Structure 1
Amino acid sequence: MSSQSDSNSDVKIIAGSELNIKEFSAHSSVLRSCSLYFQRALSERWKDQKYGIYILIKPNIHPNIFMLILDYIYTGKNILLESAEDCLNILVASDELELLDLAECAQKHLIQEFSPWLFSNLVKSLNVACCHNHFHELYNHVLNFTFRNPYSLFDSTDLSLLNEVAMICILESDELELEETEIWNCLIKWSISKFLDDDISNWSNEYVLSWFDEHFMALKETISCCIPLVRYYHIPKNYINKQIKRYHLDSDMFIKTKTPPRRCSRLITNENKAIISSWIDKKDKDYYTCITDPYKVKLLLRGSRDGFSIDTFHKFCDFQGPTIVIIKTVQGDLIGGYNPLNWNSFTEKIDLSYDELHIDILDFIFQFIFSVPYFTLKKKPYFSKTSNSFIFSFTDQSNPVLSRIKTEKINQAIWNNESSGPSFGESDLCMKNSNHWISHWKAYENKITNSTQLIVEEYEVLGYGFSSHL
């Protein structure tokens, strides 16, 4: 193997393009043994009859990358590069040449050693992962980061370089953690960045007022394949109609039938949510599906994002109406509960200071003038009464467990205390501190876990209600 002429070689490979081109010599027997690509490419019909050699032209592969790959073919040595970009280029080139072992090695090396680079160069990473989606590990790795950190992509200065295939992959997924209205706005931003040379970091809808017909046509052409992936049903009708009018789009480009919402939770699926909605409405049969589910959820708190402390729970979740709490434990449980009422840290109780106020008016005036208190406010934990709360388990997805509050225990359904987090019953499912929870079967009908002491890996609180209430 060499970049110079070799009298024993019968293959000439020209790698690179324009001013950066280099010729390599190789042996057909060696190349054929390493991939199906070379077996096909080095057939007799591609042989130069005059000189008796095979000539391959690879303009998509940089000469430096091809030299490393050729060295791998001849020596079998793993290519562990210090440069993330070179590693990504080797991955793409090895895929083109069907060097499956090298592609797998490069993919694993990228994920293990260069994840920060992949995430900080998200557009380039997505373009490779989505256009070669049989790089399954890289695809899942980069897409999952994007779904959880969408503004890392949509606020990127090189957003315009994101190709259509990658955008379609993103829009097709249920996992993108944005409201559908925000997804639409991000799609518009990407589309405009594709045909406008101006910096759109400070884009405003008012700029559209200066557009000509060719701008609207360019937008329509850029966005046409993506619009059917927008979940029209989950965007306020008056909002999307204004957008259609503003950008001169055709309303019939949108799919207007009801579609499932994107997942708001990392812990439960839309199918799980439909089951919970059915339990809320006390449906014994004909459970809701993802399409017929009438409830909408809003993520109020995620432990890994917002923190696991009790104070954080009360800060984000008190007085937010009905909620679902879901926890995933290191023991393998996926359990939670539904509170149809508000969470609250405490109730304010008025304590009377002077024998139930059996005093004369002159004494009252004296005490008032000199600021002697008659009343004190105390923080006092208390139970909320309800017959509609329940706890549940999705640990076994094929056999979910529902546990409603016992009739005789409805006065102890929900415990409100500033010193503890979400608490169902006195101890059926309670957050004691940070990621330490307990579950002692008492006030609710069925046991949802065999563990009494729970260490939580992740937890979420979701606001739960009809669309107009969230």
Structure 2
Amino acid sequence: MNYEHIQNLSDDISNLRKDTSNCDVKIKVGEGPNSKEFMAHSLILSSRSVYFKKAFSEQWARKEDEFFISNQPNISPTVFEILINHIYSGTFSVDNNEISLVDILIASDELELLEIYRQLEKRLLENESAWKLPRDFITLCKHDHLTKLYQVAIELVCKNPKFIFKSKEFLNMEEEHLIQILKRDELKLEEIEIWDYLIEWGIENTDSISNDDLTEWSPMYFKELEKTLHNCIPHIRFSQMFPKEFNELRKNYKNILPEDLVDDVLQYFSDPNSKPLLKNLPLRLTVYPFDSKIINAKDAAIIASWIDKKKEMPYRLKDIPFKFKLIYRSSWEGFNANKFHEYCDNKGPTVIIIKVRNSGEIIGGYNPLDWRSIKTVKDKKSKRVTSKPYIDHKCKTSNSFIFSFHF
């Protein structure tokens, strides 16, 4: 006859944590005011953790007054409490929403608690909601050997970049990690905003600059700032800025921009088909926020500005007041008038975009009225309603326009 009392055994081992009379391990966790000493049993620790098994071996063991001594300055007492409870009970829960799963994962990696590590890694890889940004990204910057998690963290930062760029931790970020973000095609910020944040980071990390008022800067300040930003500047996609934005930027920071880079960008603005002298960086994916294979978001911002008769600088991408929705694509629905009207009639104001084959030209137009190809006719005598081609339909508007782009 067999009896199982596994739950009782588990409860008894778990209760050993409360009884310190037979403990032979002192674990000093954390640093300074955020530190705590834990008492534990070497037999349990070494049987549950590869790290402690090695730490308590004859080769590595350190004893004081018959106690094994273990120092864990990189782990917070709150995180260690969770881990040692798991070691004794085999259970794991995080009730405190302030605790980062990344912090627990890194601590479990240090202590070689593989069960918890794998469980947390899976959760972080599969659930965006499990992350605490920007904190987790900054933490992983110090542990970038955790490659998969580091890459996921960068992807999340690119989706919500202001989490990191507006945080106090951003200004202390190491250059290599900043460059990793700047390299990403999916970084969801306008290029001029990226530049502004980069300048802010550069000023903070240039010791000789004592203020951020450019009008008070000496030539030495610009020279020192260029040194700080030298490796970052090549990853800024200046050609994705509006010409007016770039010219303003060039006026303020001409001493830190390489001449060949400036020449390249100006050449691009005058002739987008020109061959770049420097590395041709691709458009960021976020420059295409709607489903168009012909124009990008910067073009859409210009068109939106024309629609609103905005005379100054075109709308910034984030300020476009219209939502552009694709309703007809000739390569899908067919390139003929009937199909056009089938999809576009009675849809309200529309923008038409046409790419001219074998040329570098895009033409288009804005119609603030409905398109209509059929009119309804009611016979007064028979009261029958029929539909006829709306050939003679005429409407007046002063808000329509046509345009062309070169790409």
Once structures 1 and 2 are overlaid, which stretch shifts more, 58-67 or 102-111? 102-111
Alignment CA distance shift 1:152-1:47 (3 Å): closer
Q: Find the residue that maps to 1:46 and give its secondary structure.
A: coil
Structure 2 residue ranges without an equivalent (≥5): 1-15, 263-276, 302-319, 353-402
Q: Distance in 1 between matches of 2:208 and 2:82?
A: 37
* Matching residue within 101, 104, 119 for 2:115: 101
CA contact (8 A) 1:297 1:464 kept: no
Q: Show the counterpart of 1:179.
A: 190
Alignment CA distance shift 1:315-1:81 (3 Å): closer
* Matching residue within 215, 225, 231 for 1:209: 215
Q: Find the residue that maps to 1:413 and give its secondary structure.
A: helix
CA contact (8 A) 2:55 2:61 kept: no
- Equivalent positions of 1:237-276 (< 5 A) are 238=247, 241-242=250-251, 244-246=253-255, 248=256, 256-263=278-285, 264-265=287-288
Give deviations 1:218-269, integer Å, cap 9, x for gaps.
53454344333323554557566445525x455689993112111034687x
Alignment CA distance shift 1:106-1:464 (3 Å): farther
Alignment CA distance shift 1:15-1:29 (3 Å): same
Give deviations 1:92-127, integer Å, cap 9, x for gaps.
322332334324545677899994983xxx332321
User: Is 1:390–2:317 an aligned residue pair?
Assistant: no
Q: Which amino acid aligns with 2:38?
A: F
TM-score, normalising length from structure 1?
A: 0.50
Q: Show the counterpart of 1:373.
A: none
Q: Find the residue that maps to 2:59 and give its secondary structure.
A: helix
Q: Distance in 1 between matches of 2:43 and 2:260?
A: 57
| TM superposition shift of 1:45 | 2.8
| TM superposition shift of 1:139 | 5.7
Q: Distance in 2 between matches of 1:464 and 1:221?
A: 41
User: Is 1:45–2:59 an aligned residue pair?
Assistant: yes
CA contact (8 A) 1:84 1:114 kept: no
CA contact (8 A) 1:95 1:103 kept: yes
Q: Which amino acid aligns with 1:81?
A: D
Structure 1 residue ranges without an equivalent (≥5): 278-294, 302-312, 318-323, 326-335, 339-388, 392-402, 425-462
TM-score, normalising length from structure 2?
A: 0.56
- Equivalent positions of 1:95-244 (< 5 A) are 95-106=109-120, 115=129, 118=132, 122-132=133-143, 134=146, 136=148, 140=152, 143-156=154-167, 159-194=170-205, 207-212=213-218, 215-216=221-222, 219-232=225-238, 234-235=240-241, 238=247, 241-242=250-251, 244=253
| TM superposition shift of 1:17 | 1.3
Alignment CA distance shift 1:232-1:47 (3 Å): same
Q: Show the counterpart of 1:23.
A: 37
Q: Find the residue that maps to 2:106 and give its secondary structure.
A: helix
Q: Which amino acid aligns with 2:83?
A: I
Q: Find the residue that maps to 1:44 and give its secondary structure.
A: coil
Alignment CA distance shift 1:37-1:49 (3 Å): closer
Q: Distance in 2 between matches of 1:214 and 1:198?
A: 9
Q: Find the residue that maps to 1:390 and give its secondary structure.
A: helix
Q: Which amino acid aligns with 1:245?
A: K
Alignment CA distance shift 1:216-1:99 (3 Å): farther
CA contact (8 A) 1:91 1:106 kept: yes
By relative contact order (CA 8 Å, sep 6+), the higher-ranking structure is 1
Q: Distance in 1 between matches of 2:184 and 2:42?
A: 44
Give deviations 1:56-80, integer Å, cap 9, x for gaps.
3211212232222111111111122
- Equivalent positions of 1:76-91 (< 5 A) are 76-85=90-99, 87-91=101-105
Q: Distance in 2 between matches of 1:413 and 1:77?
A: 63
Higher strand proportion = 1
- How much is the aligned-residue C-alpha RMSD, in angstroms? 4.8
- Equivalent positions of 1:441-456 (< 5 A) are none
Q: How many residues align?
A: 304
Identity %: 28
Alignment CA distance shift 1:412-1:223 (3 Å): same
Alignment CA distance shift 1:53-1:138 (3 Å): same
